[in-house]
Amino acid sequence: MLITADDLADLMVSQPRPRILDVRWRLDRPDGRPAYVDGHIPGAVYVDLDAELAEHGAPTDGRHPLPPVEKLQAAARRWGLHGDDTVVVYDDLGSMSAARAWWLLADAGVDIRILDGGLQAWTRSGRPLESGIVVPAAGSVVLTTGRLARASIDEAAALGTEGLLIDVRAAERYRGEVEPIDPRAGHIPGALNLPTTGNIAADGRFLSPDVIRARVVAAGIAPGAGVGVYCGSGVTAAHAFAALSIAGFAPRLYAGSWSQWSNHPDRPVAVGAAP
């Protein structure tokens, strides 16, 4: 699932070369293209998370529903992907947005890795960036989805009842003290709070599997258990999915996440520090 900057550099001088995708996105700066143009890993193609890695429908679907496979395949071909490619994704935010691309493409059968530590790991290794825009020749990849586990809104509710649902947002949003985006504050009843920012070290790399596993077990979840994950809109939940997979759990992604749940008035909301 992960690749180091050194291993990526080795792959880049081999044949066939890996396809590299730059997935810079964040809530306060959703358009990462200007930063990409200023400097990116040589050969990397920019991926627009909002436009290419999400569908846009009614508020009751959430802010970043998973795109249909036809839309994802068309985007992947624009990125120049072919069926036998090895793909590496990265961002500059601890893999929080790159993990969304990883999840979608892994679910669709692509051989894909996350650059552990992201762009910072590449630059810390002393390797150069290039500027401008990379426009690859069209790819021919054929995608079929369904390889990774997901949860519907009803299944997320059931996982909460069973104590097997993790809310990976910041603690203050989980407690319902603040809600900057969605219509209601709080969390899905029964969900535990384990912010996915706690799964990475200060340098943006994922913590070791043992450390992540201990963190989840300390929250009351048995080692290797099946567990659902959600966030605000389904983006950083993919990061938690990756971390839990690394640690040996069997995660399920509730992609609608809080943005979907909170737009359904019939769904109950819990507030405070307790599940």
Catalytically active residues are 231
State the Cα–Cα distance between residues 137 and 214, nearest whole angstrom: 45
- DSSP state for residue 247 in the 8-state scheme: T
Cis peptide before 209 (omega within 30 of 0): no
Q: Cα separations (Å) of 8 from 35, 46, 262, 270?
A: 21, 17, 40, 44
| β-bridge pairing 19-22 and 86-90 | parallel
CA distance linking residue 167 with residue 163, whole number of Å: 11
Amino acid in position 72: L
The two tokens of residue 19 are 């396809």
Nearest to 1 by CA among 146, 119, 114, 121: 114
Quick one: how far is CA 230 from the chain centroid? 11
Closest CA to 96 of 26, 165, 149, 169: 26
